[in-house]
């Protein structure tokens, strides 16, 4: 295995940080209170919670690995080597974090197994877990479990939305947990955790590729175009327009940039042409060179 190519510093950091957040969120805040999230981790959580009084060492971390073994084998055959390796490392690291928290009984030490703060723990656990998948998507990997099934389903049904498919699977597993554990409270708090997880995942999921549209009416189109292309590394379009108030011919520079580049864009415009008229529009999605579509990256990961 060429680990240097599979794990560059950024992808390794994201993979391990994702595992840490997910492991802590689930094992420290959710499982001690019998809250069930979704995916393979949700199934593993149901097993631990249900058998906790009968078989003490039947921990979720073990079943997380067991459930993911066949899925990772399928992923290696159907999706790709690098994607599978990153997913496998994430699953193993998540299981290790969960094992350490369980072994040292951190939930008992910190008092996070107290249902009196159920809503807070459900939100915190859901948010931490929800941050994991977008982080893995950004480095061409996943957190395993339902993510793998969603990718395979997407390949069979091109109209399916991966994040939505994962959500449906998670809802089914959370509902199953409530039925097995025969607890209405479990269902309510699990829904709270699931909603928190999905909201943060969707925000981060869109944030990695969120963009804005700049439309700049200026008398110095060449200088502004060159600055945007050179400094921000994005293409531009120059359109001839006419200012009706001034009754003069002008140029309108159109450029799509990342949201994080707005401040730099504003500075460039003011420096080159203080009299330019510019406005910003939110862009829902960008398909093209220079921008990343997470839905496509999840469907077609690196081999």
Instruction: Tell which residue, 204, 183, 201, 151, has the closest CA to residue 36.
Output: 183
At 54, is the pLDDT very low, low, confident or very high (cuts 50, 70, 90)?
Answer: confident
With a cut of 50, say whether residue 12 has pLDDT above it: yes
| pLDDT reported for residue 3 | 46
- Cα–chain-centroid distance for residue 251? 39
If you average pLDDT over each of 2-16, 178-192, 231-245, 285-299, which comes out highest?
231-245
pLDDT at 2 over 70: no
Which of 18-27, 127-136, 173-182 shows the highest mean pLDDT?
18-27
For the residues 169-191, what does the mean pLDDT come to? 86
Angle at 122 between CA 10 and CA 52, to 5 degrees: 100
Tens of pLDDT, residue by residue over 262-284, are: 899 999 999 999 999 999 998 87
Residues 6+ apart with CB under 8 A from 98: 23, 26, 27, 59, 60, 61, 64
Model confidence over 28-52: pLDDT tens digits? Answer: 999 999 999 888 999 999 999 988 8
Whole-angstrom distance, CA of residue 238 vs CA of residue 177? 57
Per-residue pLDDT for 27 more than 90? yes
Label residue 159 by pLDDT band (50, 70, 90).
low
Domains detected in the chain? 3-207 (no CATH), 211-283 (3.30.70.120)
Over 80: is that where the pLDDT of 293 sits? no
Confidence of residue 163 (pLDDT cuts 50, 70, 90): low
| pLDDT at site 1 | 47
């Amino acid at each position: 295995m060429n680990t240097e190519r599979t794990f560059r510093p950024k992808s390794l950091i994201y993979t391990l940080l994702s595992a840490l957040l997910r492991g802590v969120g689930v094992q420290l805040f959710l499982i001690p209170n019998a809250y069930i999230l979704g995916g393979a981790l949700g199934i593993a959580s149901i097993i631990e919670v249900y058998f906790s009084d009968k078989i003490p060492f039947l921990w979720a971390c073990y079943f997380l690995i067991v459930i993911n073994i066949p899925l990772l084998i399928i992923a290696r055959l159907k999706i790709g080597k690098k994607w599978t390796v990153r997913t496998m490392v994430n699953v193993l690291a998540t299981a290790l974090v969960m094992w350490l928290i369980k072994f040292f009984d951190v939930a008992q030490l910190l008092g996070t197994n107290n249902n009196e703060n159920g809503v807070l723990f459900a939100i915190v656990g859901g948010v931490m877990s929800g941050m994991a998948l977008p982080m893995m998507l950004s480095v061409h990997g996943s957190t395993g479990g339902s993510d793998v099934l969603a990718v395979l389903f997407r390949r069979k049904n091109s109209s399916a939305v991966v994040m939505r498919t994962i959500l449906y699977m998670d809802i089914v597993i959370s509902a199953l947990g409530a039925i097995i554990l025969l607890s209405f409270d479990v269902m309510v708090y699990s829904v709270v955790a699931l909603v928190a997880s999905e909201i943060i995942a969707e925000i981060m999921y869109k944030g990695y590729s969120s963009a804005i549209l700049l439309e700049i009416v200026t008398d110095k189109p060449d200088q502004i175009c060159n600055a945007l292309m050179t400094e921000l590394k994005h293409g531009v379009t120059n359109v001839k327009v006419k200012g009706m108030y001034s009754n003069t011919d002008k140029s309108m520079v159109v450029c799509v940039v990342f949201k994080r580049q707005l401040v730099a864009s504003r500075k460039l415009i003011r420096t080159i042409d203080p009299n330019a008229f510019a406005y910003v529009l939110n862009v829902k999605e960008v398909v093209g060179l220079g921008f990343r579509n997470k839905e496509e990256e999840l469907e077609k990961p690196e081999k």
